[in-house]
């Protein structure tokens, strides 16, 4: 149950990503690299909730959220 998050501005921290995504459920792991991240949720329902949300704004920046492939 992992999401790919892209287009993350350099000013956004891992903590800010965690704060944003934990409103959908328990975040088990965040692997944040520069302008993208992989966010792992404890449950599939949390991932689905994040995917169903329209535009994700973190600190005013629109980020891309999709199901991780592979």
Q: How many domains does the chain have?
A: 1
Task: Write down the pLDDT at residue 34.
Answer: 94
Q: What angle do CA 67, 68, 70 make, to 5 degrees?
A: 130
Asked whether the predicted pLDDT for residue 67 surpasses 90, the reply is yes
Predicted pLDDT of residue 1: 87
Whole-model pTM: value is 0.94
CATH number, domain of 54, equals: 3.30.70.330
* Token pair recorded at residue 40: 């792992």
- Residues 19-54 have pLDDT tens digits of 999 999 999 999 999 999 999 999 999 999 999 998
Range of the domain at 34: 2-67
60, β-bridge pairs:
none
pLDDT above 80 (res 70): no
């Amino acid at each position: 149950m992992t999401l790919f998050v892209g287009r993350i501005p350099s000013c956004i921290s891992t903590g800010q990503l965690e704060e944003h995504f934990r409103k959908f459920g328990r975040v088990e792991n965040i692997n944040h690299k520069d302008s993208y991240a992989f966010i792992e949720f404890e449950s599939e329902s949390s991932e689905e909730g994040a995917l169903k949300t329209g535009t994700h704004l973190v600190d005013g920046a629109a980020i891309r959220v999709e199901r991780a492939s592979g």
